[in-house]
Amino acid sequence: MMYAMMKNNLSNFLIKVRYKHIAVINDDFIFKKIIRQNIN
């Protein structure tokens, strides 16, 4: 029971980290797009 809960928490944590990573990449992409528009 305890092991299952720990495993579940770990997978939830990894999913959150992965989504944060994707969000950071996405923000970076949008930021570069805005900079390009400002240059043009």
What's the pLDDT tens digit per position in 1-33? 677 888 888 888 888 888 887 878 888 888 888
Strand (E) or helix (H) holding 40: none
The tokens for 24 are: 């950071």
Whether the predicted pLDDT of 38 surpasses 70: yes
H helices, E strands: number in the chain: 1, 0
Q: Which two tokens stand for residue 31?
A: 């930021």
Q: What is the pTM of this model?
A: 0.44
